[in-house]
Amino acid sequence: METPVARGTVDRCGCHRYMADMNDSVDTLPILVVPDPILKARAKPVTEGDLERVRDLVPRMFQTMYRAPGIGLAAPQVGVGLRFAIVDLQPDDTRAPIVLINPEVVNRSEELATREEGCLSLPGQYADVTRPARVMVRYMDVEGAKRQIEAEGLLAACLQHEIDHLDGILFVDHLSALKRNMILRRLAKELRQKRAEAM
């Protein structure tokens, strides 16, 4: 995706504490690829009893996302059926991690915006997706505090993309059946070729 043009209030309180010790020794996680059924399942809300597990996964998810590379990753993409996701647009090549637990879009603009999207679970596939141009998202941070983000531009698209993942929706589900099927067939062909080359 292109260089971010995003404004709004982003409170990253607490997140850096979980990122501080992240280095090359932090293990990455395997990213699930379509058609894995976990990607189409609705994730369960994170409860208080899940928070420690989420905190343990967060550094590994960021390491996985940065190495991919990507700007967003949802828990179902690494095989975890819980409602949380991470985002980092890395503005000006500076890391600005956000952890969103149980995020929900509480307001969206009538104005729409179209931008090219890709997905780590559909490697190498891209398409133009139309979404609300601005959104307000409420969520909980890793400390359990309630937060809110108002976003537009790339950040708005990224937040909506990751929240879609938590509902079992992929960016190709926003396309016509023709375009979606073309992308899925192309991906399946490329994955078959890679497996054949690896043998």
Question: Catalytic positions, please?
Answer: 162
Would you say 166 and 85 are in contact if contact means Cβ atoms under 8 Å apart? yes
Smallest CA-to-CA distance from 134 within 153, 116, 115 is with 153
Burial class (CB in 10 A: 0-12, 13-18, 19+), 98: buried
